[in-house]
Structure 1
Amino acid sequence: MRPMGGEQVEEAVAGAVALLRTATDRDWDGVRAGRLEWSCRRTGEHVAGALLAYAGQLAGRAQRAYVPFEITLDEGTGPADVLDVIGTTGALLSATLRTTPRDVRAFHPFPFGSANREGFAAMGVAEVLLHTHDIAEGLRLAYEPPAELAEDVLTRIFPQVPPGPAPWPTLLWATGRGELPGRAPVTEWRWQNNLVIEAGRLTLQGVTPAAAEDLRLGGDGGFVWIDGGPCEGTREAAGMMLKAYEEGSHRPDWGVFVLVRREDGRAVGGMGFHSAPDAAGRVEVGYDLAEAARGNGYATEALRALSEWALARDEVRVVCANVAPDNAPSHGVVSRAGFARTGGNDEEITYELRR
């Protein structure tokens, strides 16, 4: 898995600016950008403003709202100058991404209130790719960015969108800009940053499809692990999540989480849901912990937080866990987290926590 950061922002901006510079002699004010209500010039201003806003959110570590500033272009700024501003704001976002620690999160409203540097990078690249498409459509230019950039965006902030025949047409379809065979047109859309749940000494950080694929293939998923991690159970869970994503049944808030220790930012284990809640409001959890992290109460702390989060949702009535009869440490984890034994057989014992 290649990291998502400043390099991708620079690549997207460079490609966009190079194409649009071929049409700076045209009327950007009097032409609408594709299907948007904005003119091509206004759309270019929006791209620059978005890139600057994302850099500001991360640099200022904003936690509650957008930092209250915006970009204003000088009167008489022409298309070539607008592209200069896009290049400048892209460079600012790129530099901010390169100097922001991995675990820093800043405010963004969709859908869980924050994003990390990968999320802001993906959003920045999405703004550039999609609105370059809009401007190019208005100016009658042919535009298709590198497929890898579109895939970077899809697998970070569109986890609810199953892969299509190719990344760029899929991203256009997912944002209401195109059609895909066998899929209904999209009229409303919103990208989705990963969910993070606070859990005392830990944070439970939602795994994106990009991270899940890397974990499945033997990588670190973009996390810094303690010795012995990630465990095989985490890799298997990532593989199950990736299969659901590819089949179109993945729901991002009912996926896999990596347990990250606050004190040093290191990942110590994995925890997550086997699938979304069923019709009866029942959802099953599973977890594992690197051997070097066991005996510290981390799994219990994480399970309490994840169960509390799940039971606060209207669609959940019961959180359950199935434990092998001879797995004494895991029996202790679920018991300390408040689960009660409700059944079992020679292969597994069932525990439940009810709303």
Structure 2
Amino acid sequence: MTAVSVLGAGSWGTALALLIARNGHPTVLWGHHPEHLAKLNAARCNERYLPGARFPDNLRVVANLEEAVKTAEILVVAVPSHAFRNLLMDLAPHLTPESKIAWATKGLELQSGKLLHQVTEDVLGPDIPAAVLSGPSFARDLAANLPTAITVASREIEFAKMLAGLLHNNRFRAYTTEDIIGVQLGGATKNVLAIAAGVADGLGFGANSRAALITRGLAEMMRLGLALGGKPETFMGLAGVGDLILTCTDNQSRNRRFGLGLGKGLPREQVAAEIGQEIEGILTTKVIYQLAQSLGIEMPITEQTYKILYEGLAPSEAVNNLLLREQKPEALAG
């Protein structure tokens, strides 16, 4: 059995810790807020995010980061992207020669636009084994032991296989790839497109519009991903189109629900407060838009989402801007 610590005690981090512990591995769950961790320990359940999903006996909740890092061979980071670098800096002094790191965070670094494997190399150096977990996977379904499949990406394929084996059971399937760039870009960009899909549905545009948006959104994801070195097959897989479909169509997606509220004309602050959890796509929209601009890559859905969030553009006007664009052959369309 492999000792694992999951760093981040929100819904997704808790669900991953449950999966790993249920598979028989000694598991630690750590979070930033001691009072939240105390409630988890007392209830032996994350009642706030995953009510009813009881913690196995081999899942420990700890408030001390040093303990969480030093007692595990594999660290799985599940914090929002804006907290990613700071957490790596905090855990770095406690790493051992055997430490390996993976993350389930879906986003890019706001200040630099870097992918999280680049942030990991900045902070921890190029030699630590590193991997990313991504794919169509809602925390609630995972905690309920419903069938789920994801992709594990690492440039060290043996580490990816190790992680996949650690996660695998008769209800959870993990595929492997070396395309760490494509997997990360798929996981980040789909949150932007889920906000856009929510806006369209909030405006009452129906299934035709949603299908068109998902399809053209996938084209945007692929243009950016291929420009940065991702592989086409990654975007046609679980971490690309799979996660995109999930987050654009199901209301478990916080990004989609946020877009729905905006499309219905509700104030942004009210929608975010009602959701009450991190909406990763808000910051990711800014990073992806700026990255596409810097590379000269056309991403019209992302651009209009950015204008809604950061320039006050009315959602109905954003849709008009998309529909009034110049006609093109589909293969050449931005």
Indicate the structure (1 or 2) with the bigger Cα radius of gyration.
1
TM-score, normalized by length of structure 2?
Answer: 0.32
Higher helix proportion, which one?
Answer: 2
| Normalised TM-score (structure 1) | 0.31
